[in-house]
Amino acid sequence: MKKILVTGGAGFIGSNLVEDLLKKNYSVTILDNFDSGYMKNLSEFKDQIQVINGDIRDNNLVDKLVKNTSCVFHLAAMVSVPESIEDPDKCFDINVEGSLNIIEACQKYNSKFIFASSAAVYGEDKTPIKTEEIITEPISPYGKSKLTIERICELLSYKENFDYACFRNFNVYGPKQDVASSYAAVIPKFITNAINSKDLIIFGDGEQTRDFIYVKDICDAYILAYENNINGVYNLGCSDVESVNSLAKRIISKINSNLKIDYKPERAGDIKHSKASAEKYYNISNWKPKVSLENGIKKTIEYYKK
């Protein structure tokens, strides 16, 4: 049985990924400091995994955990753009220095490194559809930290045949996404507000557009890269967009038609428009998103209602 390490495995994407890896009979260890992850995300399969409460910046711990693993899915990070702007030093300490510890251990033990990057690396690029070839100009410390690790992986691959895959996730949503944080993502925030009969809050005019992708489609792409030895940097999105206004109205219509939208000032670091081209990854893997926004929202609403 192949051993897998998932950093940030108690978080949103991480816990969904762990669930899917277990279904494929992998032996899974999780490293998480529980700053933004929760044991409740692992409750359904806690007896099938090893959970280590620790930090990716702990060199000795990382070395010990990566040894004898065939792959590290590296999702541990400071994930909030606004928080990265408020505390850029902490962002780089976690997202760059911590990630370098993982990379060095993967080099040492010949483990594949699969990295959760972000569409934030594109910044405010005006190209309508983002391809991996356009210039990357991140406008937040979060985006810059993700791009830094991508560049390091590319360099190591060129010089030392480093085995890696970096995925630029667009707007991921689905069950287990954190709503407790003040930086909570828009879909879980909208859904939980609507369930609790609270008006939906939009920062800016609501005409910003996003490429929303269901979390299980992301997990499929990650596992596919591991099982098929795929290397490189790839976008993961649905190649379709929805405005935040349209999204809010969609959720209101499904849960509580009496709710209103409360507009707040635009937040620093927020990008106006974001749409992915996932053609590069499709061409090498035949991966395609399976869950439409309509069905994904339905599944997510069902989860939060529980």
Cα–Cα distance measured from residue 172 to residue 283, given in angstroms and rounded to the nearest whole number: 21
Domains in the chain, CATH or no CATH each? 3-173+212-237 (3.40.50.720)
Half-sphere exposure (Cβ direction) of 180: Cα atoms closer than 13 Å: 7
For residue range 2-11, what is the model confidence (pLDDT) as tens digits? 999 999 999 9
Task: Please give, one letter per residue, the 3-state secondary structure of the chain.
Answer: CCEEEEECCCCHHHHHHHHHHHHCCCEEEEEECCCCCCHHHHHHHHHHCEEEECCCCCHHHHHHHHCCCCEEEECCCCCCHHHHHHCHHHHHHHHHHHHHHHHHHHHHHCCEEEEEEEHHHHCCCCCCCECCCCCCCCCCHHHHHHHHHHHHHHHHHHHHCCCEEEEEECEEECCCCCCCCCCCCHHHHHHHHHHCCCCEEEECCCCCEECEEEHHHHHHHHHHHHHCCCCEEEEECCCCCEEHHHHHHHHHHHHCCCCCEEEECCCCCCCCECCECCHHHHHHHCCCCCCCHHHHHHHHHHHHHC
Determine what percent of the chain is predicted with pLDDT higher than 90: 91
pLDDT at 273: 87
Catalytic-residue membership of 304:
no
Mean pLDDT of 70-95: 96
Among candidate residues 26, 38, 109, 142, the one labeled active-site is: 142
pLDDT at 181 over 80: no
Q: What is the mean pLDDT of the chain?
A: 95
Which residue has better confidence, 159 or 304? 304
Cα–Cα distance measured from residue 144 to residue 11, given in angstroms and rounded to the nearest whole number: 22
